[in-house]
Amino acid sequence: MTVWQKLRPYGMVAPAIVIFSMFFIYPIFYMIYLSMFDWNFVSPTKTFVGLQNFRDLLAEPDFLKVLSNTTVYTALTVSLTTGLALLLALWLNRKSLFHGFVQGAVFSPHIISLVSISLLWSWLMDPEYGLLNWVIGLAGFDPLQWLSHPSTALVSLVLVAVWKGLGYNALVFIAGLQSIPAEIYEAAELDRSKPWTTFMKLTLPMLSPTIFFLVIINLIGSFQVFETIAIMTQGGPVNSTNTLVYYIYEYGFRYFKIGYASAAGVILLFIVGVLTIVYFKLLSRRVHYR
Amino acid sequence: MFKRLTAFAHAVIILTLLAACGTNGAGGAGNGAAAGSADSSGNSGSADKITIKYWYAFGDKIEEAKLHMVNEFNESQDKIEVIAEHQGGYDDLHAKVQAAFAAGNAPAVTDLEIASTGVFARSGMLEELTSFAERDKDELKLDDFNPGLMGNAYVDGKLFGLPFMRSTPILYKNVTMLKDAGLDPAGPKSWEELEEYSRVLKEKGKLGMTVPVDIWFYEALVAQSGGQMLSEDGKTAMFNSAAGAAPVEFWKRLASEGLIKMPVGDEAGATADKDWANQLSAFKFASTAGVTASLEIAKGNGFELETSFMPANESYGVPTGGCQLVMTSKSTAEEKEAAWTFIKWMTSKENTIYQHKHVGYLPTRMSAVESDELKQHFEQYPQFKVAVDQLEYARPRPMENAYPEIAKIIKEAIEKAILDPGTSPQDALNGAAEKANKLLSK
């Protein structure tokens, strides 16, 4: 084998490796490095503080609130999006003009920029002048405060996330459903399997790779929610919608505490990393691949 | 059907990616073209034309005024070309300036919200202007700026900015509504009167006022109660004193009785404006920067607008606000000279008169206030004069490095005290003060 033949594969992957290292690997290590300093991004001196930033973070009640907000938001968004999308997909998985239209309509939020969506929902959810409260009023209920009260603000953001993610999730589910061979269903029918049993014993296991995929991407996506919060609530009222990524942004770019923000970033990296690994280890065994 | 949809989805994804690349490409080309044209016009004019960037905040009337002045500047001479770039609100602007500075790409001149002057100056991002001002003192006339506006121009005794679009909060009144309710349109001059007025208005099915929980208004009410936000040395929180708790107690009591409305959240400020514009509430607190726009609203909705001082508790009192023009520290010497020329031009007597009349921000120079042009203007539109007179009671905003963070802590404490009946204002502020002291002692 010539030298060229040995080196060629490395040469081929080099561009990808370089880009990946520059934009993903290097920032991670730089963030870990920064998390041990007290620095404002611009002053010439960085002060080494060791693990002080982490100690401050974990002793800060606001940060613990931020962690719990993020967890609640993620749990609600992932379960609702995936659950509703599955129901929707089961209903839409047939051929008719109407179902095709509904499918397209539900998918459309996916292609709209999240910034536009946030602005739109801010208007819809305006407690005084919003369309949602008008509809609720027509139905004879008391108006809701939506984003303006700590008890409803986080759930309102979940609503927006579910609305935005539903179409894409349903689309992937439909693809999953259609890839299940018809023969298996025919066999089940011959065995006089009840619809519920067919769903539990056949459809769900066959869909498990799809479910696995959707849950993991929704999970990671929800943990990193930023745009809706930056535009719709800025973490308020009373910190009720502040989540990890917005918190990091606030401390990094608003209060100029890049070390503290990096420490929060390291914690985010750690949580998402652990979640992903645990999820792969625990659940991948139960996923049915053909 | 599905296959077609997947194809559609793929097409969408590819289009999105292409569009993203397209934007970048176009942006790059646009910049190139702008730079190119600047160069070519530089060659046609004088050989050593220099181009500097100026970043500014806000749109609408404010943007119109800023762009108008920049254009006039560019046309008035052929040595310097200023490229003005819009960067969103103050917070966005600050974050972008900081990031650009770290990347070595900062604009030569930028707007800077006054309370952030401290943190920007102390971290070395700003060029000290003392020697420039000393050199050009005859032309600049530093004494001519309203002394009430200079408090935030100095950091630790050094000059870092010149007052540009400066403001104070004032009280906007729907006089038509007051007259209909049989109230004297000259008031309310004190907190008690504000409460009485609101009671009468509530009987008519209206609201006295819609007030967002806003640190700037809170600073005003603390000043009116004779208090301080922070101690003189900036090491201790003072807002949990009796004078600091009084505004929150006042707000909470009035809000719980339904006399005023206190929306919270990101849209709160917009809600207050809308309630006032739709004649749901008779008063609003707002920056003097909104006078022109509010006059247009009042005219459009058919009511009479007057402005007055914010009502007094112990005394009148307001913080100043708005932005000054500052120079970043990493530019070349020529760029700094160009930036200084531009800053002087933007803060001149003529331009402060222009921006005052166009937007409503304060005329920053005494010679402008005393000019015939503005005297005439005040006679015609007394709504503009209030903020100028109110400056007598104005004070600078705190400029400690930690203040932006403390402001958020205070805001949260106030929101909590107002939303939660079980939380007393004093307790909420004590909690906030404890956090603030920890930050200030660092």
Whether residues A40 and B123 touch (CB distance < 8 A) is answered with yes
Lowest model confidence (mean pLDDT) among A92-96, B151-155, B159-163, B240-244: A92-96
The beta-carbon neighbor of B91 closest among A99, A104, A254 is A254
Q: Where are the alpha helices (DSSP H) in B284-371?
A: 291-301, 333-346, 349-358, 366-369
Q: What is the pLDDT of residue B26?
A: 36
Put simply, whether B399 touches A (Cβ < 8 Å) is no
Q: What is the pLDDT of residue B47?
A: 57
Q: Residue B158's CB: how many other CB atoms inside 10 A?
A: 13
Q: What is the pLDDT of residue A253?
A: 84
Who has greater pLDDT, B15 or B427?
Answer: B427
- With CA atoms as reference, report the closest residue to A37 among A28, A46, A29, A27: A46
Which residue in chain B has the smallest CA separation from A251?
A: B405
Which residues from chain A sit within 8 angstroms of residue B401, using beta carbons?
Answer: 256
Pull the structure tokens for residue A28. Answer: 């991670």
Distance in angstroms (rounded) separating the CA atoms of residues B292 and B384: 8
Distances in Å between the Cα of A17 and the Cα atoms of A33, B17, B61, B120, B441 are 22, 21, 49, 38, 46
Average pLDDT for runs of 10 along chain A of length 290: 86 93 93 92 84 92 92 95 94 87 90 91 86 90 86 93 93 91 89 88 88 89 90 86 93 88 94 86 69
Q: What is the pLDDT of residue B12?
A: 45
Put simply, whether B170 touches A (Cβ < 8 Å) is no
Q: Residue A44's CB: how many other CB atoms inside 10 A?
A: 7
Handedness of CA A220, A223, A224, A229 (dihedral sign): positive
Mean pLDDT to the nearest integer, B158-185? 90
Distance in angstroms (rounded) separating the CA atoms of residues A105 and A108: 5
Mutation target to probe the B interface, by most B beta carbons within 10 A, among A38, A124, A148, A168 is A148
The beta-carbon neighbor of B266 closest among A174, A178, A236 is A236
Domains of chain B: 34-166+322-377 (3.40.190.10), 169-319+402-440 (3.40.190.10)
Distance in angstroms (rounded) separating the CA atoms of residues B341 and B79: 10
The tens digit of pLDDT for each residue in B41-60 reads 444 445 578 999 999 999 88
Q: What is the DSSP letter of B70?
A: H
Whether residues B405 and A255 touch (CB distance < 8 A) is answered with yes
Which residues from chain B sit within 8 angstroms of residue A107, using beta carbons?
Answer: 5, 9
Distance in angstroms (rounded) separating the CA atoms of residues B43 and B81: 12
Model confidence at B123: pLDDT above 90: no
Whether residues A253 and B268 touch (CB distance < 8 A) is answered with no
Q: What is the pLDDT of residue B39?
A: 42
Which residues from chain B sit within 8 angstroms of residue A41, using beta carbons?
Answer: 98-99, 102
Which residues from chain B sit within 8 angstroms of residue A233, using beta carbons?
Answer: 265-266
Single-letter residue type at B168: T
Which residue in chain A has the smallest CA separation from B328?
A: A42
SS3 B49: coil
SS3 B319: strand
SS3 B50: strand
Put simply, whether B92 touches A (Cβ < 8 Å) is no
Put simply, whether A129 touches B (Cβ < 8 Å) is yes
SS3 B92: helix
Distance in angstroms (rounded) separating the CA atoms of residues B152 and B160: 9
Q: How far apart are the first and last CA of chain B?
A: 64
Angle at B334 between CA B329 and CA B335, to 5 degrees: 50
Q: Residue A43's CB: how many other CB atoms inside 10 A?
A: 13
Q: What is the pLDDT of residue A89?
A: 92
Q: Residue A281's CB: how many other CB atoms inside 10 A?
A: 9
SS3 A125: coil
Distance from CA of B1 to the nearest CA of A (A): 7
Asked if B261 and B252 count as a contact pair (C-beta separation under 8 A), the reply is no
Whether residues A236 and B419 touch (CB distance < 8 A) is answered with no
Which residues from chain A sit within 8 angstroms of residue B328, using beta carbons?
Answer: none
Put simply, whether A101 touches B (Cβ < 8 Å) is no
Model confidence at B275: pLDDT above 60: yes
Pairing of strands B318-319, B394-395: parallel
Whether residues A100 and B1 touch (CB distance < 8 A) is answered with yes
User: Which secondary structure element, helix H or strand E, spans residue B97, and what is its range?
Assistant: helix B90-102
Domains of chain A: 60-256+265-286 (1.10.3720.10)
Put simply, whether B412 touches A (Cβ < 8 Å) is yes
Pairing of strands B207-210, B260-261: parallel
Put simply, whether B334 touches A (Cβ < 8 Å) is no
Which residues from chain B sit within 8 angstroms of residue A49, using beta carbons?
Answer: none
Mutation target to probe the A interface, by most A beta carbons within 10 A, among B5, B117, B264 is B264
Whether residues A42 and B268 touch (CB distance < 8 A) is answered with no
- With CA atoms as reference, report the closest residue to A232 among A155, A142, A176: A155
Distance in angstroms (rounded) separating the CA atoms of residues B130 and B140: 12
Q: For residues B176-209, b (16+ Cβ closer than 10 Å) or e, as one string? A: bbbeeeebeeeebbebebbbbbbebbbeeebbbb
Whether residues A43 and B124 touch (CB distance < 8 A) is answered with yes
Mean pLDDT to the nearest integer, B112-139? 90
Distance from CA of A46 to the nearest CA of B (A): 12
Which residue in chain A has the smallest CA separation from B406?
A: A255
Confidence of residue B36 (pLDDT cuts 50, 70, 90): very low
Whether residues B123 and A42 touch (CB distance < 8 A) is answered with yes
Among A residues 208-237, those touching chain B with beta carbons less than 8 Å apart: 231-234, 236-237
pTM for the full model?
0.82
Q: What is the pLDDT of residue A86?
A: 94
Distance in angstroms (rounded) separating the CA atoms of residues B119 and B401: 5
Distance in angstroms (rounded) separating the CA atoms of residues A198 and A76: 28
Mean pLDDT to the nearest integer, B229-245? 90
Which residues from chain A sit within 8 angstroms of residue B441, using beta carbons?
Answer: none
Asked if B73 and B345 count as a contact pair (C-beta separation under 8 A), the reply is yes
Question: DSSP string covering B350-397, please?
Answer: HHHHHHHHHT-PPP-BHHHHTSHHHHHHHHH-GGGHHHHHHGGGEEPP
Asked if A102 and A93 count as a contact pair (C-beta separation under 8 A), the reply is no
Distance in angstroms (rounded) separating the CA atoms of residues A208 and A236: 38
Angle at A51 between CA A46 and CA A54, to 5 degrees: 105
Pairing of strands B321-327, B260-261: unpaired
Angle at B393 between CA B308 and CA B134, to 5 degrees: 120
Pull the structure tokens for residue B234. Answer: 């900036």
Distance in angstroms (rounded) separating the CA atoms of residues B123 and B167: 26
% of chain B at pLDDT higher than 70: 89
Which residues from chain A sit within 8 angstroms of residue B265, using beta carbons?
Answer: 147-148, 153, 233, 236-237
% of chain B at pLDDT higher than 90: 42
Q: What is the DSSP letter of A253?
A: I
Mean pLDDT to the nearest integer, B186-207? 88
The beta-carbon neighbor of A254 closest among B5, B263, B404 is B404
Put simply, whether B101 touches A (Cβ < 8 Å) is yes
Which residues from chain B sit within 8 angstroms of residue A232, using beta carbons?
Answer: 266
Q: Which residues contact A104 (CB under 8 A, 6 or more apart)?
A: B5, B8
Q: What is the pLDDT of residue B122?
A: 87
Q: What is the pLDDT of residue B38?
A: 40
The torsion region of residue B12 among left (phi > 0), alpha (psi -120 to 50) and beta comes to alpha
Which residue in chain A has the smallest CA separation from B417?
A: A238
Who has greater pLDDT, B82 or B266?
Answer: B82
The tens digit of pLDDT for each residue in B338-353 reads 999 999 999 999 999 9
Whether residues B419 and A150 touch (CB distance < 8 A) is answered with yes
Distances in Å between the Cα of B140 and the Cα atoms of B109, B230, B393 are 17, 33, 26
Q: Residue A211's CB: how many other CB atoms inside 10 A?
A: 20
Distance from CA of A65 to the nearest CA of B (A): 13
Asked if B355 and B124 count as a contact pair (C-beta separation under 8 A), the reply is no
Pull the structure tokens for residue A82. Answer: 């995936």
The tens digit of pLDDT for each residue in B292-317 reads 888 888 888 888 888 999 999 989 99
Distance in angstroms (rounded) separating the CA atoms of residues B380 and B201: 29
